[in-house]
Amino acid sequence: MGAERHILILGGTTEARRLAGELDALPGLRVTTSLAGRVAQPRLPAGQVRIGGFGGPSGLARWLREQQVDALIDATHPFAGTISFNAAQAAAEVHVPLLAVRRPGWVAGPGDDWHDAGSLEEAAAALPALGERVFLTTGRMGLATFAHLDGLWFLVRSVDAPEPPAPPRMEVLLDRGPFTVEAERELIRRHRIDVLVTKDSGAAATAAKLTAAREAGIPVVVVRRPPAPPGVTTACGPADAVRWLRRHLALPGA
C-alpha cells in the first residue's frame, strides 16, 4: 500500500464537517480540517483539527509544504472571502490542487420582497426606509456597522455573544442552526419584526427565516456574497468534492 495522502480542508461549515467525515472513512487518506477559531465552541469534524490562522497566503503555503498536503479543499463560509483568496494564492505557489466547495445561493420566489445590498454598509443604509424592528442574522462580526441606527430596535442572533460597538436598542439571541420555519415564524411574531437582514449564505440550515419572512409579508435585505477568486474549480457539495479527489489523487473508485 502506498503512503497516506494528506487532505487539508479549510472548514467551519456544515459541508466541511460532512466532507471530513466522508474522507476520514476512506482508506489511505489523512484528513486535517482547519478552523479559524472565531467560534468559542465549534462543532468539530472527524479527523485531525487545527485552530487558528496561517498568517496569510505565505504562511498557508509554508504549512502545505511542511505538512506535505496533497490536495486543498476550501469549504469555508461563502463570506469568508480573505481565506479563499489566500488559499488560491498558496495553492498556486505550492502547486497543490485546489477545490472550492460553494453551496448554491438563495433565489427569491413568488411573494418574496427582497432588497439587494452589496455590503453590510448598504444594508444598514437601507433599513430606516424599510422598518423599525429588525431581525439581524448577519453574525456578530459586523454588528458595529449598525451601531449608529439608534432609531431602530434589533433582534441580533449569533452563535457567540457580540461585543461593542453595537446598536443601543437591541436584544441578543444566542443560537445555532438549523432552524425550523415554525420557530422562525414565532420569533418574527413575538418580537413584532418588520424587516429581516441576512447574508446570502445559502443552504437549508438557515433558510427557514426566508420562508417565515415571506409568510409575514416583511421585506428582507439580502447582502450579496463577496467575489470569489477567479479560475478556481468549484463543487456544490461534499459528494462532488469526493469525486473530484478520487480523480485528482487516483483514489480507488475514481
CA distances from 228 to 74, 79, 95, 106, 136 (A): 11, 9, 19, 17, 24
CATH number at residue 31: 3.40.50.720
Of 51, 99, 111, 78, nearest in space to 203 by CA = 78
Same domain, 214 and 231: no
Angle at 71 between CA 67 and CA 74, to 5 degrees: 105
Give the total number of structural domains in the chain. Answer: 2
Q: For residue 77, give its domain range.
A: 5-104+227-248
pLDDT over 60 at 2, yes or no: no
The per-residue pLDDT for range 14-73, each reduced to its tens digit, is 999 999 999 999 999 999 999 987 777 888 999 999 999 999 999 999 999 999 999 999
Same domain, 134 and 165: yes
Average pLDDT over residues 155-171: 95
User: How many angstroms separate the first and last alpha carbons of the chain?
Assistant: 17
The per-residue pLDDT for range 189-200, each reduced to its tens digit, is 999 999 999 999
C-alpha cell at 175: 443560537
Same domain, 19 and 71: yes
Spatial CB neighbours of 44, under 8 Å, sequence gap ≥ 6: none
CATH number at residue 159: 3.40.50
Residue 230 buriedness (CB in 10 A; 0-12 / 13-18 / 19+)? exposed
